[in-house]
Amino acid sequence: MIDPVLANCRVVRVLRQQPQAAWRCLGFPPAGAGPMFFQPWREVLPNIFQLEAINLPGRELRLNEAVPDRIDALVAEIVVVLTASFRQDPRPVLMFGHSFGGLVAFEVIRLLNQQGYRHPIALCVSAHCGPMYRTPVGALHRLDDQALIEELQRFDGVPAKLRSNEEYLAFCLPAIRADLRLDYQASLRMDCCLHQPLLVMAGNDDYVAPPELMYGWLNMTSGKSRFISWSGQHFYLRGQLPTLIDRLTDFAREQWLLPSSELSQKTI
């Protein structure tokens, strides 16, 4: 198994070490967020998963690093670290990406496929339009600070307890704006380019990534695919995390069938 301190822990952080877990769960956070976005998962994610998360430049342990001008640079860096981890750790990986994180996770798997890696991976994309579409809200990164904050608050992009914290908002805005720019400027993908299983999750009232613009994901893989809709807006998962994780766990078990006895042995 891979050492909990990965070769480049700046890029991939282990939030809950589970050396005996059957699978790795790797979170890709939304725009402006870092691994701590997945901190609440520590208490509800089954022990059959080791919990890890991607840390992009401009936040948390990489606060002083500039966000690159193109999403390709982010993706290439992540792939280098992941491929090193695959050589040490044979466990399947369940990738979960929310919003911008969903696009990054998709591009990571796309590059892995191009490079010929066949490590067992399943992908869940949450709250991001299919890669053949732009978001209907347009180029949010071009808004001034106040307008951007108002828009983030409108689709519940800022936790309620922090909405009046101007210092916090000013601190987070540069990374949020940079990620939104990368997302909006990313190349559109029209052709099926994955073979991995794909689970798509949408909020029924999400106007940033409406369900009708998320169905396009189902055409992006030749593997198994499924669509689940939830009540709520862009951050629907905050209010129903335990149920969401149940669906993720079911999805993982469907891809990597293990005898129930082995599953119990893998649980700590």
In angstroms, rounded to a whole number, what is the distance separating the alpha carbons of residues 244 and 238?
A: 10
Contacts of 209 (CB under 8 A, 6+ apart): 99, 127, 128, 129, 135, 202, 203, 234
**What predicted TM-score, i.e. pTM, was given to this entire model?**
0.90
Asked if 268 and 20 count as a contact pair (C-beta separation under 8 A), the reply is: yes
Q: What would the two tokens of residue 42 be?
A: 């520590």
Which H or E run includes 126? strand 121-126
pLDDT at 7: 44
Asked if 2 and 88 count as a contact pair (C-beta separation under 8 A), the reply is: yes
- Residue closest to 6 by CA, chosen among 74, 63, 76, 77: 77
In angstroms, rounded to a whole number, what is the distance separating the alpha carbons of residues 95 and 75?
A: 14
In angstroms, rounded to a whole number, what is the distance separating the alpha carbons of residues 215 and 227?
A: 7
Q: Mind listing the pLDDT tens digit of every residue in the chain (268 residues)?
A: 444 444 457 899 999 999 999 999 999 999 999 999 999 999 999 999 999 999 999 888 888 888 999 999 999 999 999 999 999 999 999 999 999 999 999 999 999 999 999 899 999 999 999 999 999 988 999 998 888 888 888 877 666 655 666 677 777 889 999 999 999 999 999 998 899 999 999 999 999 999 999 999 999 999 999 999 999 999 999 889 999 999 999 999 998 764 343 333 333 2
Whole-Å CA distances, 165 to 149, 171, 180: 11, 10, 21
Helix, strand and coil content of the chain, in percent to the nearest 5, comes to: 45, 15, 40
The distance of Cα 222 from the centroid of its chain, to the nearest Å, equals 21
Asked if 49 and 21 count as a contact pair (C-beta separation under 8 A), the reply is: yes
pLDDT at 157: 64
Place of tokens 């994180």: 101
pLDDT at 128: 98
Asked if 256 and 12 count as a contact pair (C-beta separation under 8 A), the reply is: no
pLDDT at 161: 58
